[in-house]
Copies of this chain bind each other. A is one copy, B any other.
């Protein structure tokens, strides 16, 4: 099944303990698309500026990602500059230039209308909602958000949550959204806001899937996937978006969405997140093979399974 994703396609300048990279191709929709492209057909809705050239286009083409929904606008693409020198787990934002993204009006190509999977990457919830409403055929809708929208645009965000099947956010965002410091109670509160599943990403500790549908015991409504202890995290940017791409891409590749499929999807999410951080920007995600992915999946199983 094809996935439509709406989000940012951007350029990032990042500095990490491993070095510095200027203006690498980035953005949530880029990380998501590349990660998901190893599992299924991906269609992107975004806006880029005149600095998005043939070499950037080639990155999407190589993975057969449909970019007819990437609008070209006069001006420059969204630009973000951040540093992880103080803390590899949290970026310090040095600069954010919205550029063409400031006037982003998502347009959904007709060719995308039959996408049964929709991913709303982290953008203004007003835009997320508009895309959601314009894709009534989507049978599984997932989305991301961030502290900024939770804090200052909560009413709009709550409207988005009502239309989501799955929300993917991190620990801090979950606690902030629910106003509850206990993760399990916070997760349950978020599940009351609309989504029937919540994936909480714990960074280097993996991620937990909470869902409402199996109320058979105290904690059996959850599933935890590990992260891989890594020798070197070159650039943590995009780990969450890559997790989402692996998770949702794997689901879209399945003929039936069984509980087991969701468990494996959590593992594939962690796998794609672990690859993403091994190189700057999307470098690692551009040059994977399904074999490498499945080998790492096996490593994750080995890391956590009793037998």
Residues of A within 8 A of B (CB): 88, 181-185, 187, 202, 204-206, 208, 210, 217-220, 222-226, 228-233, 260, 263-264, 267, 299, 301-307
Top 5 A-B pairs, shortest CB-CB distance: A205-B205, A184-B229, A224-B226, A263-B306, A304-B304
A303→B219 contact, CB < 8 A: yes
Give CA–CA (A183, B205) in the complex, Å. Answer: 11
Report B-chain residues with C-beta under 8 Å of the C-beta of A301: 306
Could you list 19 A-B pairs, sorted by A, with CB under 8 Å?
A88-B181, A182-B231, A182-B232, A184-B229, A184-B230, A208-B229, A219-B228, A219-B229, A219-B299, A219-B303, A220-B299, A222-B303, A223-B303, A223-B304, A224-B226, A224-B303, A226-B226, A226-B304, A263-B306
Give CA–CA (A301, B208) in the complex, Å. Answer: 14
B299→A218 contact, CB < 8 A: yes
Q: How many copies does the complex hold?
A: 2
Report B-chain residues with C-beta under 8 Å of the C-beta of A185: 231
A220→B302 contact, CB < 8 A: yes
CB distance from A43 to the nearest CB of B (A): 29
A222→B218 contact, CB < 8 A: no
Given A205-B205, A224-B304, 6 further pairs, Cβ under 8 A: A182-B230, A183-B229, A184-B229, A219-B229, A219-B303, A220-B302
- Contacts A217-B299, A218-B299 given; indicate if A187 touches B229 (C-beta within 8 A): yes
CB distance from A251 to the nearest CB of B (A): 15
Give CA–CA (A181, B233) in the complex, Å. Answer: 11
CB distance from A66 to the nearest CB of B (A): 31
Give CA–CA (A299, B222) in the complex, Å. Answer: 10
Report B-chain residues with C-beta under 8 Å of the C-beta of A205: 202, 205-206
Report B-chain residues with C-beta under 8 Å of the C-beta of A232: 182
Report B-chain residues with C-beta under 8 Å of the C-beta of A206: 205, 224
* Residue ID in chain B nearest A217 by CB atoms: B299
* Residue ID in chain B nearest A214 by CB atoms: B302
Give CA–CA (A267, B304) in the complex, Å. Answer: 10
Report B-chain residues with C-beta under 8 Å of the C-beta of A184: 229-231
For A220, A233, A260, A304, the residue with the greatest tally of chain B CB atoms inside 10 Å of its CB is: A304
